[in-house]
């Protein structure tokens, strides 16, 4: 439906609730084609793109979990939609780009780019259908039961109608610019992921023209959810979608004409930045040039109201250079991720995660001499359970210490006005030698990082540009794990996102277990534990096992030598993860994931909850 009007559902039937997350078989070749020796056979590898879609599906499953606070479930729905946006902007766009350049070779899994796109369309359509089913059938009724209402037009009272009409005339109408489509007004450039409306019209405008169809774009400055004042509602948490208001009062933008239909749509465009770092002299300037065109790059997906007529859908599809398979019909708002405003604006702390205060080791508390503390022993900070405050405090003391002559720091996703940036600038202005590595190509933060780098340079900081990579996808590493498994080595992997390895295959990977932990914190550690002849080795690392990290980046792995800290890492990052029967998903050999639900009567063990309790106990 288009916001609040009944209409056709997606052509892809929604999946049944309660099954494993990701039912798509992700291997292109059947396993029975494998001869038992060839470790490069396509049947031994799961498809990377479908594995990533499975991760998004697992995030969506958190939105269905009744054990999670209701507004946090809404937030997980929004996260799943944001993840899917990025998937199309980057992964799908990259595959289409390769096809346009004539690259048709298959990947390690044996799937060609064309076959991969077809499989993506099927899996993504199922995922989109499930997102809207969860919204309409589960979350919206649950919110209603808690007096948090998203009011459809049919439910507006007279007083609410009058208030919303005034809001439209005062706040919305002045910033809307309808555009009739005629020979004098060709189809405009539509910004990536902007909310737009295709409006069918009857009659002639003030100039005697009969446009038939017009477009209206909702500026990004407008909130997508409007809260109705309490004096006009039954409670403080009544909301109306911006699109519902525009649907209702769209006729006022076209005086003298009749609005026959109004259909929301959103186009997703290629957001990958194609910069050859070896061929350009100024990475920042090259990225700035790419960023200018990112919002209007090639279209890769069209989201469209489910009640949009076929002739309008065909026109939009043609104008964006897309195929029918690139169109996703939406049984609700086309920009679900903007529903996060409900979580932020609803005054219902009882429906959110309880506040959590990260732990600060007593010796590293503000006011203590951190350099003296570190000379006595090593400390391990496990974020987000341990506070980041000691890191800021160490930098603060370094800036103030006359014996500190140089500071070297890496910044990734850091705000321009963050405490760390302010301290680094202060250090440079105090005459210290400050060198900062800024990851310019931290995806979708490129513009902010260019601004950050410029500010640091203007303050006298020496800025070095790094390139960042996020998973287990590299074929040679997967083959090495297969060989180890066949040699009898027990391998346990905690991989939150993409995994192309097939565990549990007899004669190949029956000694390999892969699980994904998802919960309140969508974070994960990068640590390794080896048992060499009975001797335990623990290493920390900066990167996942992905091709770009192993072959195109400078990454760091370091041993943890202090026995007590190594033991803590093993306990918190491995043992708890493999004991988790609440938030863990077990990867199956066919690429699907099965939830590690506890047996009846078993004690629930959630790794993240246990770590939060430990942090709170340590704080007291």
Burial class (CB in 10 A: 0-12, 13-18, 19+), 504: middle
pLDDT at 18: 39
User: Which residues are 538's β-sheet partners?
Assistant: 529
Q: Which of 466, 492, 526 is the last residue before a domain boundary? A: 466
Are 311 and 456 members of one domain? no
Residue 345: φ, ψ to 5°: -95, -20
Q: Which of 409, 431, 466 is the last residue before a domain boundary? A: 466
pLDDT at 463: 78
Cα 85 to Cα 252, 284, 590: the distances in Å are: 32, 25, 25
Give the model confidence (pLDDT) of 153-205 as tens digits: 999 999 999 999 999 999 999 999 888 776 566 788 888 889 999 999 887 66
Are 480 and 457 members of one domain? no
> Structurally, how many domains does the chain consist of?
3
Q: Is residue 536 part of a domain?
A: yes
pLDDT at 291: 44
Are 314 and 182 members of one domain? yes
Are 271 and 367 members of one domain? no
Q: Is residue 48 part of a domain?
A: no
User: Structure tokens of 460?
Assistant: 């006298």
Distinct helix (H) and strand (E) counts, the chain: 19, 19
Are 240 and 307 members of one domain? yes
Cα 408 to Cα 177, 395, 405: the distances in Å are: 50, 10, 10
Q: Is residue 40 part of a domain?
A: no
Closest-CA residue to 342 (of 193, 195, 149): 149
The CATH number of the domain where 544 resides is what? 3.30.870.10
pLDDT at 434: 86
Are 441 and 578 members of one domain? no
Q: Is residue 4 part of a domain?
A: no
336-340 own/partner pairs: CB under 8 Å, 24+ apart = 336/77, 336/78, 336/81, 336/131, 336/132, 336/135, 337/78, 337/79, 337/81, 337/82, 337/85, 338/78, 338/224, 338/225, 339/74, 339/77, 339/78, 339/135, 339/224, 339/225, 340/74, 340/75, 340/78
Are 485 and 513 members of one domain? yes
Are 211 and 70 members of one domain? yes
Are 559 and 598 members of one domain? yes
603-617 burial, b for 16+ CB within 10 Å, e for fewer? eebbbbbbbbebbee
Q: State the residue range of the domain holding 588.
A: 475-619
Q: Is residue 607 part of a domain?
A: yes
Global model pTM greater than 0.75: yes
pLDDT at 175: 92
Percentage of the chain modeled with pLDDT above 70: 83
Q: Is residue 320 part of a domain?
A: yes
The position carrying tokens 């023209």 is 209
What CA–CA distance (Å, rounded) separates 79 from 87?
A: 12
Are 149 and 293 members of one domain? yes
Give the model confidence (pLDDT) of 270-320 as tens digits: 876 454 444 334 444 544 444 445 455 889 999 999 999 999 999 999 999
**Residue 472 near residue 547, CB atoms below 8 Å:** no
Give the model confidence (pLDDT) of 223-243 as tens digits: 989 999 999 988 889 999 999
**Residue 466 near residue 440, CB atoms below 8 Å:** yes
Are 328 and 439 members of one domain? no
Q: Is residue 517 part of a domain?
A: yes
Q: Is 462's pLDDT higher than 70?
A: yes
Q: What is the largest CA-CA distance in the chain?
A: 87
Q: Is residue 141 part of a domain?
A: yes
Helix, strand, or coil (residue 528): strand
Are 462 and 482 members of one domain? no
Give the model confidence (pLDDT) of 467-513 as tens digits: 543 767 788 989 999 999 999 999 999 988 889 999 999 999 999 99
Q: Which of 408, 433, 466 is the last residue before a domain boundary? A: 466
pLDDT at 522: 76
Q: Is 371's pLDDT higher than 80?
A: yes
Q: Is 254's pLDDT higher than 60?
A: yes
Angle between helices 389-400 and 419-429 (to 10 degrees): 10
């Amino acid at each position: 439906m288009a916001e609040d009007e009944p209409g056709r559902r997606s052509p892809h039937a929604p999946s049944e609730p309660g099954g494993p997350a990701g039912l798509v078989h992700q291997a292109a070749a059947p396993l029975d084609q494998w001869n038992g020796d060839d470790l490069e056979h396509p049947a031994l590898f799961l498809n990377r793109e479908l594995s990533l879609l499975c991760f998004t599906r697992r995030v969506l499953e958190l939105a269905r979990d009744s054990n999670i606070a209701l507004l946090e479930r809404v937030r997980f729905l929004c996260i799943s939609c944001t993840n899917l946006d990025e998937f199309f902007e980057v992964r799908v766009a990259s595959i289409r780009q390769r096809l346009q350049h004539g690259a048709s070779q298959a990947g390690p899994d044996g799937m060609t780019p064309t076959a991969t796109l077809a499989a993506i369309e099927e899996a993504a359509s199922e995922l989109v259908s499930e997102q809207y089913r969860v919204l309409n059938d589960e979350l919206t009724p649950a919110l209603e039961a808690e007096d948090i209402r998203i009011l459809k037009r049919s439910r507006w009272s007279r007083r609410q109608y009058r208030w919303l009409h005034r809001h439209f005339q005062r706040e919305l109408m002045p910033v809307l610019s309808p555009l009739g489509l005629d020979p004098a007004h060709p189809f405009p450039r539509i910004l990536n992921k902007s909310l737009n409306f295709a409006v069918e019209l009857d009659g002639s405008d003030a100039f005697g023209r009969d446009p038939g169809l017009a477009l209206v774009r909702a500026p990004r400055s407008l909130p997508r959810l409007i809260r109705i004042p309490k004096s006009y509602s039954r409670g403080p948490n009544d909301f109306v979608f911006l699109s519902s208001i525009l649907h209702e009062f769209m006729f006022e933008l076209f005086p003298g004409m009749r609005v026959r239909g109004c259909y929301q749509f959103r186009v997703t465009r290629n957001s990958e930045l194609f910069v050859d770092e070896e061929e350009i002299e100024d990475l920042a300037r090259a990225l700035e040039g790419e960023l200018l065109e990112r919002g209007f790059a090639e279209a890769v997906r069209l989201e469209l109201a489910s009640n949009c007529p076929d002739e309008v859908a065909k026109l939009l599809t043609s104008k964006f250079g897309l195929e029918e398979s690139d169109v996703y019909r939406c049984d609700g708002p086309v920009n679900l991720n903007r529903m996060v405003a409900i979580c932020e604006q609803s005054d219902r702390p009882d429906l959110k995660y309880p506040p959590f205060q990260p732990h600060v080791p007593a010796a590293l508390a503000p006011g203590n001499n951190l350099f003296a503390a570190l000379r006595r022993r090593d400390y391990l900070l496990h974020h987000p359970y341990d506070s980041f405050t000691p890191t800021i405090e160490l930098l603060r003391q370094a800036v103030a210490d006359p014996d500190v002559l140089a500071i070297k720091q890496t910044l990734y996703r850091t705000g321009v006005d963050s405490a760390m940036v302010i301290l680094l600038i202060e250090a440079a202005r105090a005459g210290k030698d400050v060198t900062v590595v800024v990851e310019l190509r931290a995806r979708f933060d490129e513009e902010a990082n260019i601004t950050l780098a410029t500010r640091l340079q203007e303050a006298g900081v020496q800025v070095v540009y790094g390139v960042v990579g996020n998973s287990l996808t590299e074929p040679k590493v997967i083959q090495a794990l297969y060989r180890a498994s066949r040699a009898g080595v027990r391998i346990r992997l905690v991989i939150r996102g993409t995994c192309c390895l097939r565990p549990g295959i007899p004669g190949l990977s029956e000694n390999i277990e892969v699980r994904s932990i998802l919960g309140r914190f969508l974070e994960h550690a990068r640590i390794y534990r080896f048992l060499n002849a009975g001797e335990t080795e623990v290493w920390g690392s900066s990167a996942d096992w992905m091709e770009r990290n192993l072959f195109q980046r400078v990454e760091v792995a370091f041993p943890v030598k202090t026995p007590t800290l190594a033991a803590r890492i093993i306990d918190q990052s491995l043992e708890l993860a493999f004991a988790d029967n609440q938030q863990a998903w077990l990867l199956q050999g066919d690429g699907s994931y099965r939830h590690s639900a506890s047996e009846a009567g078993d004690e629930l063990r959630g790794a993240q909850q246990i770590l939060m309790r430990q942090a709170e106990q340590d704080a007291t």
